[in-house]
Chain A
Amino acid sequence: MSFLLTLAFKNLSRHKKRTIFTTIGISVGIALLIWMDGMLRWADNESKRNLIRYEFGNFVLSKVNFKLDRDNFPLDKLMDFSAVKQIINKAEKEDLFCSPRTGFKVVLNNKRGFGLFYLVFAVDPVRYAKTLYVAKDIVKGKWLSEESMGIVISKNAAKDLDVKIGDTITIETKTKYGSFQSVSVTVEGIFDADDPSVNRNQAFVSYKFSDTFFQTESSASEIVFRSVNEKDEPFLSKMKDFINSIEVKDLVFSTWQELGADFIVLSKTKRAGTKIMIFFLFIITAIGIINTMLMAVFERIPELAMMRALGMKDNFIIFLFLLEATGIGFLGSTLGLFMGFFLNLWGVTKGLDFTGMVKDMDFGYRTGTVFYSEWNPDTMLLAFFFGIFCSVIVSILPAKKAVDITITDALHYQ
């Protein structure tokens, strides 16, 4: 065994350049896998965090028939004020952040008449600021107060409508009772949320504003709940018990996973994408190793024949090649692990800025345009062993090739 190890090691140094190039091929594949996985993992987790922090909290309470038609935000399926108040009081005793909101499908127009379709939420400004993060992301002006009669819009909307703080825009929508309403409103704040979906679709007014102009009467289309630690349980169970105990009927909880189903589907698809990446990594590794091992086999056929003639069994010859492949795989995987570690370190601390490239592009993730990375020790370990495993697996065929040829032919092979 020790002889085989010595020989395998020395054989690796026989063609240093070839070994180095194969090693680099494997290491680049491993490093890219680690880095890409770190980035995708960050994007996945950041998207989940942003779905909770900006869009849905951990769960959303609404009327059953509202949930069925949520895409249209119908104003005739709202929870009335007394029910909303009762639920909020209970939730706040349970240490849950919660806030009612009422959504309106609107067209926002600037003074030149250019319009954008948006979803305006009428919110309780204080509670909404505690529950979701958008109030933290105000970049110009200020967040709403309970008495505000202005609007908070996103940086995207401000740019598209060409408005700044203090400018007036017009909201066109239907009131709770179905009459058309067109209201001029002053831009009070501009936000730049980490969730691009919020930047693209949402604007905010106070309940005072909506009660005055849209006849909402402080009723809510939904109540958003976020737990302190952003975990769904056990608060969801507690709130379910509570809802069952009160007399408000026809209410239903929707989790952020249900409401963000489009992202969950995308996330699963991206995971499949990672598997495709692993497959390509396997192909790159396999081609490099097969090429190296086949060259090693063909140039050493007479030498191997001599070893077989002297009594070395075929299994040992195969084992020798597998040891060499393990050596190359180990070198490549170790180097790849280091490269992947440093790429990830850069990803975690600096990130990759796609701002110039994808400013207005929706590529599914609820993240900003600077792509960071996340530490992934499990993938690092997996990639390390995967590199070695691939090297060994793809070397079996070339190694068997070495003993397929008869000794007498092999001795005179040129």
Chain B
Amino acid sequence: MNIVECTALCKDYILGKNVVHALKDINLFFKEGEFSAVVGPSGSGKTTLLNLIGCLDKPTSGVIKISGIIIKDQNKDRLADLRRDNIGFVFQSFNLIPVLTAFENVAFVLSLKNYSKKEINDRVYSILEEVGLKGLENRKPSELSGGQQQRVAIARAFVKEPKIILADEPTANLDSDTGREIMSLMRELNLNKRVTFIFSTHDKMVMEYAKRIIVLKDGKIFSDEEKRL
């Protein structure tokens, strides 16, 4: 079953008097449980594609469906609900809330879904243990290493059990060893929880982990290949 469907997707940006065609006629489909990488040089449209799939932006033309819902027809609040219920994000610069502890950063997304306090505690402690942060729950981001911060971000994305996780260059701010650890963790969670995983990267190490690699060039799909395991 396709969880994400992009049909004839175009996205233009207006920069001064110029129109930049960031994405041109993209047709892409992602199935449940996929672990896919969108790769390509800078300016190829990777982040734009992830933003559109993540309902953070709307396409200039074409259709995106997330779990069968056409995002173009949704207002701001319904898009927020759609993101809250279906999509997790892992950002390149972690984007944790600096005044909150690791526990609170993860609990934040559950509080948006009105979970009970007990349920929040159970889920957050469990996911933090799963990502290897047991015992560090009360540390603030400034007291954690880059790799640990990204683990908190991953826990935050996974804790609400979304259907899709979008990761924009998740290892770009990490050294290669930590990057490998993070990719292994994400792969493990992908296999255990059957969450569709789409990440953008131009790191060859990261691409090694992907089951499907979509190469973008100048806003178009240059290649789309699934790896044989």
Contacts and interface: CB of A to CB of B under 8 A. Distances in A.
Contacts of B99: 7, 10-11, 13-14
B80 A311 contact: yes
A321 to B, nearest CB: 14
A318 to B, nearest CB: 13
Contacts of B170: none
A361 to B, nearest CB: 55
A261 B107 CA distance: 68
Contact of B80 (A6, A305, A312): A312
A311 to B, nearest CB: 2
A251 to B, nearest CB: 77
Contact of A302 (B95, B104, B111, B112): B95
B25 interface: no
A7 B109 CA distance: 13
Nearest to A306: B95
A408 B53 CA distance: 12
Given A3-B111, A408-B51, A408-B57, A310 B89 contact: yes
Given A7-B100, A306-B89, A311 B95 contact: no
B156 interface: yes
A185 B54 CA distance: 101
A308 interface: yes
Interface residues of B, number: 28
A283 interface: no
Contacts of A305: 95
- Looking at chain A's contact residues, is the secondary structure mostly helix, strand, loop, or mixed? helix
Contacts of A314: 76-77, 80
Contacts of B104: 3, 6
Interface string B42-86: 000000000100101100000000000000000011001101110
A interface residue count range (under 10 / 10 to 19 / 20 to 34 / 35 or more):
20 to 34
A311 B112 contact: yes
Given A7-B100, A303-B97, A308 B80 contact: yes
Nearest to A302: B95
B85 A311 contact: yes
Interface in A296-341: 302-303, 305-314
Contacts of A277: none
A24 to B, nearest CB: 22
Interface in A361-414: 406-408, 411
A408 B56 contact: yes
Contacts of B100: 7, 10
A267 to B, nearest CB: 51
Nearest to A3: B111
A328 to B, nearest CB: 16
A364 B143 CA distance: 65
A3 B107 contact: yes
A312 B112 contact: yes
A6 B89 CA distance: 23
A408 B13 CA distance: 12
B98 interface: yes
Most buried by B among A3, A7, A311: A311
Contacts of A407: 56-57
Contacts of A309: 54, 56, 83, 89
Given A3-B107, A7-B100, A313 B80 contact: yes
B222 interface: no
Contacts of A11: 99
Interface in B122-161: 156
A406 B57 contact: yes
Contacts of A302: 93, 95
A148 B227 CA distance: 124
Contact of A310 (B51, B57, B77, B84): B84
A14 B56 contact: no
Interface string A1-32: 01100110011011000000000000000000
B91 interface: yes
Given A7-B97, A11-B99, A311 B109 contact: yes
A391 to B, nearest CB: 20
A2 B104 CA distance: 12
B29 interface: no
Nearest to A406: B57
Nearest to B88: A310
Contacts of A3: 104, 107-108, 111
A150 B146 CA distance: 97
A303 B56 CA distance: 15
A407 B54 CA distance: 11
Contacts of B88: 310
B49 to A, nearest CB: 12
A45 to B, nearest CB: 49
Nearest to B80: A313
Contact of B91 (A13, A406, A411): A411
B95 A303 contact: yes
Given A3-B108, A309-B56, A310-B89, A14 B81 contact: no
B112 A306 contact: no
A308 B81 CA distance: 10
Nearest to A314: B76
Contacts of B112: 310-312
A245 to B, nearest CB: 78
B89 A14 contact: no
Contacts of B113: 311
Contacts of A310: 83-84, 88-89, 108-109, 112, 156
7 contacts: A13-B99, A302-B93, A310-B84, A311-B83, A313-B80, A314-B77, A407-B56
Interface of A: 2-3, 6-7, 10-11, 13-14, 302-303, 305-314, 406-408, 411
Nearest first, the 7 A-B pairs at minimum CB distance are A311-B84, A3-B111, A306-B95, A10-B99, A311-B83, A407-B56, A313-B80
